[in-house]
Amino acid sequence: MKPIFTPLEKIDSLLKDEMGKKAIKGLAHFIPDMEKEFERVKKALPFELTDEAKQKYIDLENINSDLKKYILESGLLVDFDWENWLEGKEILEGIRPLSKTSNLKICKMLTLIVKRDTFDFEYFGYQLRKGTILKLLKNLSENTET
């Protein structure tokens, strides 16, 4: 499966057209399953977990490959210089907070995660279990609804 990357100068128009909105809606279908799993762990363990500890309890293997495949084929990945995007790397490393942001930045973050996964085995799964991808997808869905 070959990933579909949209040129940086065309991503804004894609996000506004029907194809982009459909891709975002498709991603939103993964949100309830992720939220359900995070809630299951939260109820089972009555104390706050570190990101590392969460990795042992969060089980999202049932959606990992489907979600990754969907993202790769959605056209929401951006063709940009991801290797030199310091802000995105700092957000993923927890140096900067992941707050409400633009759809463009969310697409760039998803691209960074997918690209890094190609040489850092299971990086996508790590970010999925950590909750980063859930936050990105929720943010993307909320931005599109308004």
Domain ranges of the chain: 5-145
Query: In the predicted model, what is the mean pLDDT of the chain?
Result: 92
| H/E element, 87 | helix 86-92
| Dihedral sign from CA coordinates of 118, 61, 127, 67 | positive
Alpha carbon distance 93, 52 (integer Å): 13
Cβ-contact 50, 87 below 8 angstroms:
no
Distances (CA, A) of 14 to 29, 76, 111: 20, 8, 15
The low-confidence residues of the chain, meaning pLDDT below 50, are none
Report the pLDDT value the prediction gives residue 144, as an integer from 0 to 100: 79
pTM of the model: 0.92
3-state DSSP assignment of residue 1: coil
Q: What is the pLDDT of residue 139?
A: 94
